[in-house]
C-alpha cells in the first residue's frame, strides 16, 4: 500500500509550489496568473502514459469516476448494470445513482467476477458490465470481454484497487471500453481523495469530462463563463493541490510497485502451505500488483483460527475479514432492498458461492517499507500458525 507510506517532503513541496505560484487551486482557467502551469492536466497526461490509455480525466474520487464513466456510457434509469458480489460499496452506489438496477454476479476463486455466472445474468436490458479487479489482481478479462463482445455490451473496469496490475502485459483499466481508478488514502497512489477515468475512446472520455464539470465542453476559444454544453453534469473536479500530489506520487509508482511485488514474492516463496490452505488463484500471475496476499482455507473454521492467532501476534488483515461488510454484496440490505428482485430475500443465500469463498478467505496487506526483519517475522508468524492449526 505504497501511497500513504510514501507521503513526504516531495508531496509537501509540490503543494507549497502551487501556493508560491499564486495559489490558483482551480484546475481550469487563470492561464496568465498561473503562468501556464496546470498540475491536474500534467497528472492526467502522465497517468494516461503510465497505464497506456489515450485519454484520462481526473476527478474528485473513485466513486465520482465510476459515476462519470456510467454517464459516459449513457446509462439511463431502468437499465441493468452487472457487477460482482465482492467489491467496495462504491461500485453499486454509482450504479444506483445513475438510476440503473444493479445485477450482481458471484465470484470464483480469483475472488473476482465469475464469467460463468456473468453469462447467466445478462438480459436484454443489460447496458454495462463492471468487472472489479479486487485486491490488486486482474479479473479473468479474456472470458469477460468475450462474453461482453458477444452481447455487444460495454465493459467498465473498476480498477480502483489494482493500479499497477497488468493482464497479458496491458494495464488494468485499459482492457475494456473505460476504466476507473481511485486515489483515496488507502490506495496504491494517493492524492488524499481523487480518481481517474481512462479510455481509448474519445467520445467516452469527453462525456466523462463534461459530466465531471457541470457539462462544460471546455471550448478552447471561449471564456469559461460563456462555455457551451450539451449535457448536464455535477462537480466532480479534481483540485489543483491533488493534481500536484498525484504527479509526485506517480513518479514513485514504478519503483514502489516493483518493491511490493518483490516483498510479496519473498513472503509467498517462504511459506509452508499445508493441505487445508491455498493461495488465491490468479488469472495472470505476473500481472498481480502485489499489494495483498490472500489465503483461501478449506473451511471457515480454519480461516477463523488463523485470523485469531494472527491478530494475537499483532498483525492485521485487509478487508477480509476485517471490513468484509463493506466489500460483499451479501451484507448490503441497506441498498439492495430498494430493488424488487432482492427485497425480502436473504442476500447471503443469493450469492452462496461468494459467501462460501469469502468466509474462507483471509487477505494480508503487503507493505513496501517492510525491511528484511519484518518480512522474516511475517513469514515465521504465518508458518508457525499454519503448523498450529493444521
Binding site for ligand PLP (CB under 6 A): 61-63, 87-88, 90-91, 132, 158, 160-161, 182, 184, 195
182/256 with CB nearer ligand PLP: 182
Q: Are 243 and 354 in contact (CB under 8 A)?
A: no
β-partners of residue 196 are 58, 181
63/263 with CB nearer ligand PLP: 63
In three-state form (DSSP H/G/I as H, E/B as E, the rest C), the secondary structure along 217-271 is CCCCCCCHHHCCCCCCCCECECCHHHHHHHHHHHHHHHHHHHHHHHHHHHHHHCC
Closest residue to ligand PLP in the complex (CB)? 62
67/252 with CB nearer ligand PLP: 67
Q: Are 73 and 154 in contact (CB under 8 A)?
A: yes
187 as an active site residue: the answer is yes
Residue 80: CB minimum distance to ligand PLP, A: 19
Residue 314: CB minimum distance to ligand PLP, A: 25
Residue 187: CB minimum distance to ligand PLP, A: 6
37/89 with CB nearer ligand PLP: 89
Whether a cis peptide bond, with omega within 30° of 0, leads into 321 is yes
CA distance 345 to 48: 43
Q: Which of 45, 71, 121, 187 is catalytic?
A: 187
Nearest to 187 by CA among 253, 283, 255, 89: 253
For 328, which DSSP code? B
Residue 101: CB minimum distance to ligand PLP, A: 19
CA distance 327 to 318: 11
Half-sphere exposure of 288 (CA within 13 A, CB side): 26
Question: What would the grid cell of residue 373 be?
Answer: 526483519
52/192 with CB nearer ligand PLP: 192
Residue 60: CB minimum distance to ligand PLP, A: 8
Residues with active-site annotation: 187
Amino acid at each position: 500500500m505504497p501511497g500513504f507510506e510514501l507521503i513526504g517532503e516531495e508531496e509537501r513541496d509540490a503543494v507549497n509550489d502551487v501556493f508560491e505560484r499564486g495559489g490558483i487551486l482551480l484546475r481550469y482557467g487563470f492561464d496568465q496568473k498561473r503562468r501556464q502551469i496546470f498540475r491536474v492536466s500534467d497528472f492526467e497526461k502522465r497517468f494516461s502514459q503510465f497505464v497506456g490509455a489515450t485519454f484520462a480525466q481526473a476527478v474528485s474520487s473513485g466513486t465520482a469516476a465510476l459515476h462519470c464513466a456510467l454517464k459516459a456510457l449513457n446509462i439511463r434509469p431502468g437499465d441493468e448494470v452487472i457487477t460482482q458480489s465482492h467489491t467496495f460499496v462504491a461500485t453499486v452506489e454509482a450504479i444506483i445513482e445513475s438510476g440503473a438496477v444493479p445485477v450482481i454476479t458471484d465470484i470464483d476463486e480469483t475472488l473476482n467476477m465469475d464469467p460463468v455466472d456473468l453469462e447467466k445474468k445478462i438480459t436484454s436490458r443489460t447496458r454495462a458490465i463492471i468487472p472489479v479487479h479486487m485486491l490488486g489482481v486482474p479479473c479473468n478479462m479474456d472470458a469477460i470481454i468475450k462474453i461482453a463482445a458477444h452481447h455487444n455490451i460495454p465493459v467498465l473496469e473498476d480498477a480502483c484497487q489494482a493500479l499497477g496490475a497488468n493482464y497479458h502485459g496491458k494495464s488494468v483499466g485499459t482492457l475494456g471500453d473505460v476504466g476507473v481508478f481511485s486515489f483515496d488514502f488507502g490506495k496504491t497512489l494517493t492524492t488524499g481523495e481523487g480518481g481517474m477515468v481512462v479510455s481509448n475512446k474519445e467520445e467516452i472520455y469527453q462525456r466523462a469530462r463534461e459530466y465531471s464539470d457541470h457539462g462544460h465542453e471546455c471550448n478552447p476559444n471561449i471564456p469559461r463563463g460563456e462555455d457551451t454544453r450539451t449535457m448536464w453534469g455535477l462537480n466532480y473536479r479534481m483540485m489543483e493541490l491533488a493534481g500536484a500530489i498525484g504527479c509526485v506520487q506517480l513518479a514513485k509508482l514504478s519503483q514502489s510497485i516493483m518493491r511490493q511485488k518483490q516483498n510479496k514474492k519473498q513472503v509467498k516463496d517462504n511459506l509452508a502451505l499445508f493441505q487445508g490452505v491455498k493461495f488465491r488463484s490468479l488469472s495472470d500471475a505476473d500481472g498481480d500488483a502485489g499489494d495483498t496476499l490472500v489465503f483461501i482455507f478449506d473451511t471457515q473454521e480454519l480461516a477463523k483460527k488463523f485470523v485469531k492467532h494472527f491478530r494475537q501476534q499483532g498483525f492485521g488483515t485487509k478487508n477480509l475479514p476485517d471490513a468484509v461488510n463493506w466489500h460483499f454484496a451479501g451484507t448490503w440490505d441497506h441498498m439492495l432492498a430498494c430493488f424488487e428482485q432482492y427485497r425480502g430475500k436473504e442476500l447471503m443465500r443469493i450469492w452462496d458461492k461468494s459467501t462460501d469463498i469469502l468466509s474462507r478467505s483471509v487477505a494480508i496487506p503487503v507493505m513496501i517499507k517492510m525491511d528484511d526483519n519484518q518480512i522474516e517475522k511475517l513469514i515465521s508468524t504465518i508458518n508457525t500458525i499454519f503448523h498450529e492449526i493444521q
